[in-house]
Amino acid sequence: MADLFDGIVMAEQRFHGEGYQEGFAEGSHAGMAEGRRYGALHGARIGSEIGCYLGFALTWHCLLQKHTDEKNSKKMRALDSLIGMIQKFPYEDPTYDKLQEDLEKIRGKFKQVCSMLNIQSDFRIGTERSSLTF
C-alpha cells in the first residue's frame, strides 16, 4: 500500500517537475527580455544626464581657460571638482552600491556650477528637446 502511495506522489512530482522545467525556461526568457528593456531605459536616462553634465563642464572648463582671474579660478575649481566626480562615477554599473548617493552629489555640484556661471540649471537634461533658458 505504501508503495502505491509513493508511486502516486512520485508521479505527481514528476509531472510537476516537467512543467516546472518548461515554465522556468519560458519565464527566464521573458524575464530577461523584460528586465533588459527596463534596464536599458533606466541606464539610458542616467547615461544621458551624466553625459550632459560632463560635456557641459568640459566645454566651460575650456571656455574659461583663457581668462584666469580670481573669480574665474573659483569657477574653474568648481568645474574641476564636477569633472572629477563624474569621471570617477561608474555610470554604466547598476550594481554600484553608492549609485544614488553619488548621483545626488553630482547633481548638487552641477547646480552649484550653474549658479556660479549665472546659468539656470534646469535646462531640460531629460529626453526632450533641450535649450537653455535664461
Residues 12-51 that bind another protein (CB under 8 A): 12-13, 15-51
- Asked if 10 is part of the footprint of another protein (rule: CB under 8 A), the reply reads no
- Asked if 106 is part of the footprint of another protein (rule: CB under 8 A), the reply reads no
Instruction: Considering only residues 46 through 105, tell me which ones interact with another protein, judged by CB under 8 A.
Output: 46-60, 62-63, 65-66, 91-95
Type of residue numbered 65? Q
63 vs 71, which CB is nearer to another protein? Answer: 63
- Asked if 111 is part of the footprint of another protein (rule: CB under 8 A), the reply reads no
Nearest approach, Cβ of residue 70 and another protein (Å): 19
Tally the residues of the chain: 134
The span from the CA of 89 to the CA of 132, in Å, is 25
Cα 68 to Cα 61, 73, 79, 102, 109: the distances in Å are: 11, 6, 14, 30, 21
Q: Of 96, 116, 104, 98, which is closest to residue 49 (Cα–Cα)?
A: 104
29 vs 71, which CB is nearer to another protein? Answer: 29
